Amino acid sequence: MDTSLDCSGNHLREDLCNSEIVRTMDTSLDCSGNHLREDLCNSESPNTDKENREGLLAEYNHWKKQQDTADHRKSFFLVEKLDATDTKMELQRLLEELSTKQENMAEEKLDKSNQFKRESEKLKMVNLELQKQIQELKKTLKKEEHVLEDMKKELQVENKLPRKNINFKSGEAHEDAESFPDISYKYFVTINGGAILQSGQTFVTFEDSEVAKTIIKKGNYKLDFEGTSVKVTAKPINFNRTTQFEINMNLSKKRLCVHYLPVELSDEYLRDRLELTFYKPSIGGGEIEGVQFDRSRNLAFIDFRQSGVVERLVKQKHFEFSADNALHQITVEPHLDIKLNKLQMFTGKSLKSVLLDGLKGVEETEDDIQDIVQIFFQKTTNGGGEVEHILHSHNRKRVAEFEPDLN
């Protein structure tokens, strides 16, 4: 664009020079014409001959022609000047438009840059917030995992079942062995949380819940011992968590559980080897319905079509089979399916029980203290009644293990 403007300026300077030349030529022609006219006038005198007049006339026509040519060039240069002016104005207009576009593009670029910076800052803030939330969720997850571990520990119960005498009676023999059902057993387990008695506390259970309610309502009592009197406070007692659940066990007569499988063998290859091994009647095997695997525990479960096969194989217990030029030993046992159902955990309080707190500083034994407390609270004059059970903790912690009446 600058080059075009320079060219236009050069043309304008040439036009100005040419216009000066034209004006000079016009001045010269005017002077020449005046001289010619003067000469013609002077030639009218008698002393001027005809040849001189013709020469002057020719010279006049020559300069007249030069003047016409100069006028024509002058008009051409004026037209060129106007065209150059229009071109200059058009170029100036284009230059202004381009300058305006450049300014707009610069402003738009600045706006986009500022917008990008704002969005980048916003994303950084969102990222920081998400990082904080992730950290908080991780902390919450750890807390929940600890709670879960604590609950698992609480649910890991080791409780001895009461011994029961079972009488077996002979029944009619079944001709069809297929009619023998699996051996199933179901029992309910209740683990009472009980209550822990601190030193100087007594646990009293009455036959009537109204008696316990009356004693707790009164609250404070004074018990007399040898050489001293002790003030005690009657409170309701809350038991720790009580757990109750149902255990269902089913001992299958057609499913055999196989342990210590070779981990390097594939399921398909191992299935073939097990079917070939336990199909043999010589070891007490029988027709196999299917084989399933539990690779997480490295176990296999073999289902037989007839009952009695599992019983025969379990008597031998240990077996061997060869695979990949190696001898592998496995162990079998009947499949026992154990399920835990109807799990309930709850806390409660005994409506018939009272906790006496403050029985300290007496020298009597626990048995003597229990007798004195029982006699005191059996008297109706003291608001008591018939005592069903009593337990005192003297200078130690004791657990009340008897079953409470839960509310």
Q: CA geometry: angle at 75 spanning 69 and 76, to 5°?
A: 90
> If we measure between CA atoms, which residue out of 147, 247, 248, 238 comes closest to residue 192?
238
Q: Which two tokens stand for residue 290?
A: 């299917």
Buried/exposed code over 271-297 (b: 16+ C-beta within 10 A; e: otherwise): bebbeebbeeeeebbbebeebebeeee
pLDDT band, residue 213 (cuts 50/70/90): confident
Residues 353 and 350: their CA atoms lie apart, in Å, by 5
Q: Which two tokens stand for residue 58?
A: 């020719």
- List the single range of 110-114, 236-240, 336-340, 390-394 with lowest mean pLDDT: 236-240
Looking at per-residue pLDDT, the higher value among 291 and 401 belongs to 291
> Which residue's structure tokens are 């009293």?
204
> Superfamily for 245-345?
RRM (RNA recognition motif) domain (3.30.70.330)
> If we measure between CA atoms, which residue out of 344, 328, 259, 341 comes closest to residue 300?
259
Q: How many beta carbons lie within 10 A of that of residue 29, not counting itself?
A: 18
Q: Contact at 8 Å (CB) between 360 and 339?
A: no
Q: Contact at 8 Å (CB) between 365 and 165?
A: no
pLDDT of the residue at 3: 45
pLDDT band, residue 183 (cuts 50/70/90): confident
> If we measure between CA atoms, which residue out of 401, 373, 394 comes closest to residue 215?
373
**Measured CA distances, 200 to 80, 232, 352, 356 (Å):** 127, 10, 20, 8
User: CB-based contacts of 324: which residues, under 8 Å, 6+ apart?
Assistant: 265
Instruction: Report pTM.
Output: 0.40
pLDDT of the residue at 193: 65
- The yes-or-no verdict on residue 28 having pLDDT over 70 is no
| Domain-wise residue ranges, the chain | 2-108, 196-240+348-400, 245-345
pLDDT of the residue at 154: 56
Q: Which long-range contacts (CB under 8 A, 24 or more apart) does 307-312 make?
A: 307/177, 307/178, 307/180, 307/253, 307/254, 308/177, 308/180, 308/253, 309/254, 309/256, 309/284, 309/285, 310/252, 310/253, 310/254, 310/255, 310/256, 310/334, 310/335, 311/253, 312/284
